[in-house]
Amino acid sequence: MKTTMFDLLARHAKRQAGRLWALGLAAGLAVTMVATGPADAHGEKSQAAFLRMRTLNWYDLKWSKTSVQVNEEYEITGKLHIMNAWPAAVRIPERAFVNTGQPGAVANREGVWVGGTFTPRSMMLKVGETYEFRVLLRARRPGHWHTHVQLSVETGGPIPGPGQYIDIKGNFNDFTDPVKLLNGTTVDIETYQLGRIYLWHLLWAVAAVAWMAYWFSKRGLIGRFVAVASGQAEDVIITPQERIVGAVSLAAVLGTVIIFYAITASSYPNTIPLQAGDFHNIQALAGEVDSGPLKIKYLGGSYKVPGRELVANFKITNEGKEPVRIGEFNTAGLRFLNPDVFTTKVDYPDYLLAERGLTLSDNSPIQPGETKDITVTVQDARWDTERLSGLAYDVDSSFAGVLFFYTSSGTRYPMEVGGPVIPTFLPV
């Protein structure tokens, strides 16, 4: 049979198909990597809906500034309610600390206060209590940075609160971080002994590379593994010369550490160890969540997945002396407002604010001594964009949040609510 040029090309292409496919895949991945932009968030949306809704409720958050210069201070303040609906899957915050979630060290954390106590370390918080917090930051690296406040819980990880973009302007080289030491002198820890730090890192890097290079030049790890697997004698795997090299290297490393530690200790005799331990008895706020003259009973509800709509039925009794109205539902940092109560613009990040997201079956005030059955509808696309719609797929499909009631005189009563909902997947 006569073989044509096309047959030869076809056979060649068939033999190279695997390589061509791998080459195409690698090229595609490389193009994708080129087009990838910088990460601009902290993964808060990837956290399960139940975790964000039922662990913490952040409210009254304020960012003192959203545009600062390098070295300028700004702060985040607000209140943190530890939800009674805290899920069993997460350890309660007996050891936790307030921090910030930022794209790297773009700002220095100058101090954190919780319940009026300076808390640079972990602390114990109690479920059902509400705490006031303040985080003081100082701008470091210029840029447009998304900054969260967050609570890091032992074994549970960080649970971010609402985020806000902070614009830091100026020159990074102008940043300084002066710290007063116990001996009264002040140093800039941004650059303090930086040359010595580089020197020590370089020294150990060179030692590590030399160590690895030596052993790889002597049959390498795989060669020794083969020797061990074949049952060769130990003196064949490691020669006497190699033992001497190992002993000398160990002595050199230990000697270097001991000698320079002694020099450093004599140069700086008054030092204290890094401080550890937990703070207890953090003062909770009185008169906050669940302290109002209201009785609320959850009667059940549903979550309509296609409509991004939570419907919750409550029996509410007003035991106070003034009529009250429901003005807001707050959960996972999102604020759903009743436009009949909030008639002016609210200062809050737009992507977390649904200004018309809350409607009621009966929007009239609840009079003193009156009991009403009210259906609360919380509807907005932010259920999806913030990925809280995932509550429909949780094992218990439960929601939680804080309802804010207002009197005509301006008094506010935050009340925790929550419970299981029935997910609905049919179209609206």
Prediction pTM value: 0.81
d(CA 89, CA 301): 23
**407: Cβ contacts below 8 Å, ≥ 6 apart:** 320, 322, 323, 324, 325, 413
pLDDT tens for residues 265-275? 999 888 888 88
69 φ, ψ (degrees, to nearest 5) = -95, 160
Q: How confident is the model at residue 37 (pLDDT cuts 50, 70, 90)?
A: low
What's the pLDDT score for residue 2?
55
Q: Give, to the nearest 10 degrees, the angle between helix 240-267 and helix 194-217.
A: 170
Per-residue confidence (pLDDT) for residue 18, from 0 to 100: 64
pLDDT given for residue 396 in this prediction: 83
How sure is the predictor about 399, in pLDDT bands with cuts at 50, 70 and 90?
very high
Mean pLDDT of 340-369: 94
The dihedral built from the CA positions of residue 330, 334, 340 and 341, taken in this order, carries a sign that is positive
DSSP 34: H
Closest to 135 measured CA to CA, from 40, 61, 54: 61
Q: pLDDT tens digits for 319-341?
A: 999 999 999 999 999 999 999 99
Residue reference for tokens 């399960």: 48
**For residue range 61-112, what is the model confidence (pLDDT) as tens digits?**
999 999 999 999 999 999 999 999 999 888 999 999 999 999 889 999 999 9
pLDDT on residue 242: 87
